[in-house]
Structure 1
Amino acid sequence: MVIKDSSEYNTPVFPFTAIVGQEEMKLALQLNVIDPKIGGVMIMGDRGTGKSTTIRALADLLPEIEIVKNDPFNSHKSDFDLMSNEIKIAIQNNETIETELLKIPMVDLPLGATEDRVCGTIDIEKALTEGIKAFEPGLLAKANRGILYVDEVNLLDDHLVDILLDSAASGWNTVEREGISIRHPARFVLVGSGNPEEGELRPQLLDRFGMHAEIRTVKDPKLRVKVVEERTSFDKAPDVWIENYEQQQQQLRDKIVAAQNLLPNVELNYDLRIKISEVCSQLDVDGLRGDIVTNRAAKAYAAYNERTNVTIKDIEKVITLCLRHRLRKDPLESIDSGDKVSKIFKEIFEIED
């Protein structure tokens, strides 16, 4: 009897291109993969609407990345912003660097996670007795160059949310214990999800997420039946389903990679940038994060559609996702559905209904 390697028994993942509806969530996730500097996605919606399924499907869709072999931080072989200090030193010493291909890391952060589990820990005793920095990497190290998913992020301790958002924004994680400091790359797409009935995030934390997608339970009975039937048939024969959708999956994979490569060449002209900032100003959006994210998202959307110049249509497609969660000043207010953003956008960009 031949015993197979346990790695061969991967849990089948529902294909991203087979997911019905939830266009807002799918678009926000894809744009963040094209440009991780958008700053992540907050997905708020009813229970059982496929949030986790969609995020896992996206991670499974993306192409493999090349990492330095046996490196706990998934270090890049040549990009200094994506490699650990040990690899930098090895390169400077002209050491041979072996690489391997790895599926895009998809890290689930459990609700009960401690700061040490998230950030990593330093073995103080080992550091003092043996004179070496004994670092045990955490989830942020594992998520480098991948996706970090936090379900029920609105129930997570605010302090931990702050740490996640700081790492996502800076691309680095710093751990300090007893005067010993370790810094490593932690560049990932942060995806948070939650149910508004269980409470919203504080406005200050919500503002730090690049985009905010709302999802609702499908009301149309025929569409509901279609979703249930598709999920049931996938569970019965996942291999057949994955094979049937492989061509569509590959087409979307190629489209995302092409958009990532095209993104540095995408231009957003000055007049459109002025109007984006005018929208943010009229909506009384605090700070400049809204302006920056809208600019980035519009460029990513143009690249996704194989264009090097951003159009008004591109901005219209992303602006609600980028601004609606920045309008709430009072923690007791609910998040705008997007009507207010859309109204001001049409006024400033002089678009007729």
Structure 2
Amino acid sequence: MQYGLPSKQTVNAVGGRLQARSVRVGCRLWSLSDGRTVQTTVTDVAVTKVREVVEVVTDHLAFVVAPDQMLSTPDGWVHARDARGNVVAWTHARKLNRRRLTITPGYDLGYLIGATCSDGTVGRNYVSLVVNDRRFAERFAECLVGATGLSARLEPVTRPSGYLRRDVPGFRVRVVSSYLADLLRQYVGGDAHHMRQGFPRVVLRDRKTFDGFLDGYSDGDGCPVRGGRVLVSANVAFLAELARIIGARFTPRLDGTASHLVVADSWPSRGTFRAETHPVQLRESGWAQVHDVRPRTTKDKPYTLYSYRLDPLPGFLINGHLARQPW
């Protein structure tokens, strides 16, 4: 069996892409383990010549490997020549060199999620909160720092007021981090739009995190009332899920306007809260569909293949797709 990559096929090395022929012993390559991107080191490089390779075409791009090269699928490792119709493990290659955050569970994380779900904005590579209340903005910034380790500060801004019909002073907290933006989208089911976001069940890991979530959401889209607080949202499914968790009655508005959920201070006495285990770190891998596998043969100059032995993990990424050394 022949394994490896043609000389000009690129692999994802730490620091940037490298052509297969440029990989040396000691190079660090990106790999995947338990859904997260990790690094592994090249301990040996083997070179061989063949007259046939295959081009693997996926959802994202095409890459060229030896027919026997192993690719990762949900059912285990398969040869590239047999990969058509399968899905293979994949991650965004352009995001490999970004800063990864260590998320600290607890009240700060819950508050960050709650405030973002109510009043925050999750962009492609940033998270921001723009509000009139300085105390709210300061608390959001403090919890963001405590939960993620990122630096955050308040910026004075002006924002239009539809009610007053003029610009009013406000405060903005904005951090640029595609990792945090992707993580918050993961928490709410993939879409962070306030009308489409799902309930972030990661806040159910313990009472401290959930209490932080309630405080953060209430500071954004809530108001205090005697004996509790009222949360307001037009996202009925979101409020309905929250109502089940706290054991509250909830009657949604059916005319498309915002619904109200009363969160009584005594809700813990109902005994409806159940802690759940959910990952707080970002899952960085997914699956890419293999649409075609196209043989390439040569009668003249043979292909030069490069294969690698790695440690501690045998897998490495080819344009974001997970492959591995021979068994």
Q: TM-score range by the shorter chain?
A: under 0.3
Q: Which structure features the higher share of helix residues?
A: 1
Q: Which structure features the higher share of strand residues?
A: 2
Bigger radius of gyration: 2
Q: Normalising by structure 2, what TM-score?
A: 0.24
Structure with more relative contact order (C-alpha pairs < 8 Å, separation 6 or more): 2
Q: Normalising by structure 1, what TM-score?
A: 0.23
